[in-house]
Amino acid sequence: MTLRALSPLALLALLAGPVACSAEAGDPEADDEESAIIGGQSSGSSDDAVVAIYRRNQLYCTGTLVAKNVVATALYCVSERDEAARTAVPMLGDRVRPTELTIRMGTKPTSKTSATVSKVIVTDPVKAESGVTVPMTSNNIAFLYVQPVDPAFSKIVPRRVATRSVEQGSTVTVIGYGGASEQVVRGGTPERLRKDVEVKLSVKERGQDAEGTLENGQTVTWKNKSREFVTSTVACGGDNGGPAFDSQGSLVGIVSAVIGSCVEGSLSVFTDVPSHAAFVQKSISEAKTIGCLNDDECGNATSGQVCDGKTNRCMRGCRAGGNGCANGATCSVQGRTSGAQGICRSTSGAQDASDPSYDLGAYVPPALPGMTCPGNPLCPTTPATRECRVDDECRGVNGSKPRVCDIPAGRCLDGCRVATAGMCAVGQACGAYEEDPLIGICQLAKPAAPPPGPPASPPVLQSEPPVAAPAATTEAPAVTAAAKKKKSAAKADDGGCSVSASSNRSASAWLTLAAPMLVALLRRRRRAA
């Protein structure tokens, strides 16, 4: 077919071909309903230090136990996201409340909670006031201080933290709990791993471009930022916050983002853990001096001493599923929920001052480094005489004047217990106190907010155009047979539409050369008419 046989519209379509591609071929937001860890395999019990982080009973992220009571994860996993922000980089707002988070363990976690979260630790540059958002940068790292409630959790051997960053061309092992939405809903998402994941760019290659080619032929690029490294395809839904282990099995990276959709050929971005050495050391060391993080630090199973999660201090009491009471006493716990805190009372069950367990005496704090009690404002106190051990002893009237027992303090309060129905009047609901999610006050009932869905994937960031390479001074290398085969397969997938900066520049060149030809053809047809 000669040029004169083409209509102007047909010619325009021909010239525009390299520019216009179908949405399917060039859509970076393609379906991410893939299995956990793309191309991964089932992990074993040796990887139990990798744990699942749940938010309001839904799989949310992955984390790594790096000390007896410290879990490393991504800042993105413990921050509210500003969905309204139209920025290339996600904007992060308030920290997630620790009481919303729980930890589950095992290669296929069940509904059983393994540990609760008592504190969220973030880096200084992102400690924002309430309502203030900050961009997700290379500070995408956070720690959780946790309290074991499952004895098996205390037996997990933490992973070491790497002191050296990985090199370009080396490999890492990545583990995560990500999975398809159906698996997440069923609560049966397995832990999976992928070995020999290639490091395309290390922290030493800051500012350089990494490139990947998706299954549809689209090219994605990412300019390596400070304190991060880039690998080939690996991360998917729920893997955010998950670990990358070096050849020694030490934690060297944390899943931070995905460049491109959740398919083979995309790029995975990791926070480089050794680059945050000072923050890592501070977070782990402070966990050792915080007072207590689990009941074991306060005594044995019959000590009648537990660790208070709100103050991280040992106090008299007991816990369902944890430390119990001495012989001759039983643990009185509201609701009998595993992990709930209660008080020790005599087996006779007396509910008046004649009960020898009624008056437990003044609280005696443990010896803490640099703290003298009483006198220090951080020293917790307990009244010498308890008013109550259970709600019934407070003699409230449900529906009009409910009362509740603040069990750790042994005092009656006007209010309600969140888990107990019927304490508030019709049309009211029990709103929890911010400092204690178990008790609160009656207030007008509001429609329950749906729990936040698990992140579909680590943050999907936009592909960045690569910086133009300097003019070559030597002959270009020959195209290998493998490269030709890969290019041919890409064309078969999307009709030759490979979306990249180079293809766009080629299209612009086509238009520049062909525009005069199109104008000449139009003028010739007008004269002929």
In a 3-state reduction of DSSP, which class is residue 437? coil
Spatial neighbors of 499 by CB under 8 A, at least 6 apart, are 21, 25, 26, 217, 218, 219
Rama region for 207: left / alpha / beta (φ>0; ψ in -120 to 50; rest): left
Region 512-528: mean pLDDT is 58
Confidence of residue 228 (pLDDT cuts 50, 70, 90): very high
Average pLDDT over residues 436-445: 73
pLDDT tier for residue 355 given thresholds of 50, 70 and 90: very low
**Average pLDDT of the residues of the chain:** 69
Could you tell me the residue ranges of all domains in the chain? 41-286, 294-384
Rounded to two decimals, the pTM is 0.58
Going through 389-459 in order, the beta strands assigned E by DSSP cover 403-406, 411-414, 416-417, 428-432, 439-444
Mean pLDDT computed over 23-48: 44
Predicted local confidence at residue 225, as pLDDT: 87
Q: How confident is the model at residue 260 (pLDDT cuts 50, 70, 90)?
A: confident
Mean pLDDT, residues 473-499 taken together: 43
**pLDDT on residue 213:** 87
Helix axis angle for 501-528 and 8-16, nearest 10°, is 170
| Alpha-carbon separation of residue 17 from 96, 106, 494, 495 (angstroms) | 48, 52, 12, 10
Instruction: Judge contact between 511 and 15, C-beta under 8 A.
Output: yes
Comparison of pLDDT for 68 and 451, the residue scoring more: 68
Considering Cα of 34, then 37, then 42, then 48, what sign does the dihedral take? negative
C-alpha 268 chain-centroid distance: 15
**Quick one: what percent of the chain has pLDDT higher than 70?**
54
Distance, CA of 236 to CA of 230 (rounded, Å): 15
Q: Report the C-alpha dihedral over residues 215, 195, 182, 462, rounded to 10 degrees.
A: -50
- The pLDDT tens digits for 76-119 are 888 877 656 555 566 676 678 887 888 998 877 777 888 888 88
- Please give the order of strands across the beta sheet that includes 91-95: 79-81, 91-95, 134-135
Cβ pair 103, 116 in contact under 8 A: yes
Residue of higher predicted confidence among 93 and 488: 93
CA 30 to chain centroid, in Å, comes to 22
For the segment 292-306, the average pLDDT, to the nearest whole number, is 81
Q: Residue 440: which of 417, 423, 407 has the closest Cα?
A: 417
Is the distance from CB of 144 to CB of 78 less than 8 angstroms? yes
Instruction: Out of 99-103, 137-141, 143-147, 501-505, pick the least confident.
Output: 501-505
Residue 130, pLDDT > 80, answer no
When comparing pLDDT for 349 and 347, which is higher?
A: 347
CB atoms inside a 10 Å sphere around CB 360:
21
Q: What is the pLDDT of residues 314-323, one digit of tens each?
A: 777 787 777 7
- CA nearest neighbour of 432 among 293, 305, 310: 310
pLDDT confidence of residue 161: 96
Q: Name the residue type at position 330.
A: T
Q: To the nearest whole percent, how much of the chain has pLDDT over 90?
A: 16
Amino acid at 502: S
Topology, domain 41-286: Thrombin, subunit H (2.40.10)
More confident position, 290 or 265:
265
**432: number of CA atoms within 13 Å, CB side?**
11
Position 90, amino acid: P
Per-residue confidence (pLDDT) for residue 351, from 0 to 100: 41
Main-chain phi, psi angles of 528, to 5 degrees: -65, -35
- At 72, list the tokens: 């490393």
503 band by pLDDT with thresholds 50, 70 and 90? very low
464-471 mean pLDDT: 54
Q: 3-class DSSP state for residue 239?
A: coil
Q: Which of 20-34, 193-207, 339-353 has the lowest mean pLDDT?
A: 20-34
Q: Is 168 helix (H, G, I), strand (E, B) or coil?
A: coil
The answer to whether 345 touches 354, Cβ cutoff 8 Å, is: no
Could you tell me whether strands 70-73 and 171-176 are parallel, antiparallel, or unpaired per DSSP bridges? unpaired
Calpha distance 388→370 (Å, rounded): 34
**pLDDT for residue 319:** 79
Q: Give the pLDDT score at 156.
A: 92
Q: What is the pLDDT of residue 44?
A: 52
Distance CA 438, CA 480 (A): 65
DSSP per-residue letters across 468-510: PPPPPSSPPPPPPHHHHHHHHHHHHHHTT---SHHHHHHHHHH
